[in-house]
A and B are shown apart, each in its own frame.
Chain A
């Protein structure tokens, strides 16, 4: 039930919701480079930051932008950058250094079709790049996958908090459907979260204070190995505490559709159509892609033995689903490689659900 104090709903694009949420989360440093379909984010912040005392730089490249993020974050500031496929590839160097330096920072990836210049249409084909770290060295970053404009807003704020708490970069992974569509949104106030003090920041070493160094170079015997084990433990902590997902009518389901982001929205309507047609079908939507909600999948697969994974790619998340479910459960796949005209409709997904549901029965 809405309380009388709830903020009035607004009607904004997904990309604008990201920018508004960053401001609400206290971010006052943004560094970026124009690329479709995310340019609404730098455009919004370049307009709004001056009055708020924020620093906006249109960098010389995505490489420049991610390193500005690194520098600002090293001083303890909440900072953000955003881009899409080709630009996110360029940022991987900096993301790896940030991961190696245990630096927070928010990276928004509004996926477009690839490889190469690809196209500007919606895509989910950068799932592996996002959830496997993307750059060199064997690290992970937090990856959140909004499926609505409301979640673009809420998960951007969450990304800042998780990034600060776990001292690692956090990515908001969406695509041009979620970025470009407009929805009614409640602009929630920043959640009250107790954040650990940033004792590690570079601030100018005063007399009697320890020297703070933000670095990713470890040359001493065993130092690098120790770093990796420490991060591994942190990833486990993330998995234990921060997994988020949404289940729709999974309780009695004989087939569970699973999808994230834009395709999960389309799948949700397809699942509703299947229910209307008398099929026991549910939906499992991971909201955190790293950490991936493995335990939730494992539990679902104890009862339901057939999953249908749907992606706007030739299949990437399906590997995580396979690794999470019980050995005697199966995963079927339906994917559309990204590009103009490949966005599936609910009717199309309903046909896929019916096909797999009937084949099983």
Chain B
């Protein structure tokens, strides 16, 4: 019998700790597929962040450095400068990248570090129990915005794919989603493009993946998926915000 679907080699044969309906697993898989398809697993160094993505080393069958909260782009910078012959990627959530790590991501991007950043935006702090994130949407209730995010006090959510696209060092910046088969296929294409930029030494590449967090949103997986469609995508439009190949 012909096998038509299998686990990517870059992923370990283990089950994850992610909640049912969480999109982290899908993003992990797409990144692993990209590493497999470029044949770069044995050259890759992953940089884990703090949050639900901290266990990167437990799922990816690549060497991994775990970094302090928000500092993954600085850690990746050091690793890539010391080993320019390696493929270095960070994998960060929204609290990690867009709150405590805003300085590190902006400067690594602006320097045009030859790394790939995978940014998972689920509009909340997952690991610590659903607090308000820098990407929490206007009016969204979380455990630290129980009356809903008040834009007049908390500011508006950051749109990272757009923000980084304005920086000179960024070669590729795109936003994707995992809420439908069509979007998953599109996400795969974008993630591969991001890694291709690094393989070809073209500079900093950035993927923002809109993701569901059913547990902290207080929804079942289907409703959470629907929220990505109905609320997130209209506010965080999908697409390519910068592609130096098109310039």
Contacts and interface: CB of A to CB of B under 8 A. Distances in A.
A292 interface: no
A75 B45 contact: yes
B65 A71 contact: yes
Interface string B182-218: 0000000000000000000000000000000000000
Given A71-B47, A94-B71, A57 B65 contact: no
A64 interface: yes
B68 interface: yes
Contact of B67 (A70, A77, A213): A70
Contact of A97 (B67, B77, B79): B67
Contact of B42 (A55, A69, A75, A206): A206
Contact of A214 (B42, B64, B76): B64
Contacts of A217: 54, 66
Interface stretch (B55-63, B169-177, B231-239): B55-63
Interface residues of B, number: 35
B107 A59 contact: yes
6 contacts: A31-B78, A69-B78, A93-B68, A211-B62, A212-B64, A213-B65
A60 B82 contact: no
B75 interface: yes
Interface string A66-100: 01111111111101000000000000011001000
Interface string B108-145: 00010000000000000000000000000000000000
B23 interface: no
Interface stretch (A145-153, A160-168, A197-205): A197-205
A74 B65 contact: yes
Contacts of B47: 71
B64 A215 contact: yes
Task: Kindly name the residue among B42, B77, B103, B106 whose own CB sees the greatest number of chain A CB atoms within 10 A.
Answer: B77
B107 A60 contact: yes
Nearest to A205: B63
**Shortest 9 CB-CB contacts between residues of A and residues of B:** A71-B78, A67-B74, A68-B78, A72-B78, A71-B75, A202-B63, A77-B82, A215-B66, A60-B107
A70 B65 contact: yes
A29 interface: yes
B37 interface: no
A235 B149 CA distance: 49
Task: Kindly name the residue among B54, B64, B78, B107 whose own CB sees the greatest number of chain A CB atoms within 10 A.
Answer: B78
A214 B82 CA distance: 15
A213 B82 contact: no
A71 B54 contact: no
A67 B41 contact: no
A216 interface: yes
B86 interface: yes
Given A55-B82, A64-B104, A203-B86, A71 B76 contact: yes
A203 B88 CA distance: 10
Interface in A22-73: 29, 31, 55, 57, 59-61, 63-65, 67-73
Interface in A213-229: 213-217
Contacts of A117: none
Given A71-B47, A215-B64, A64 B71 contact: yes
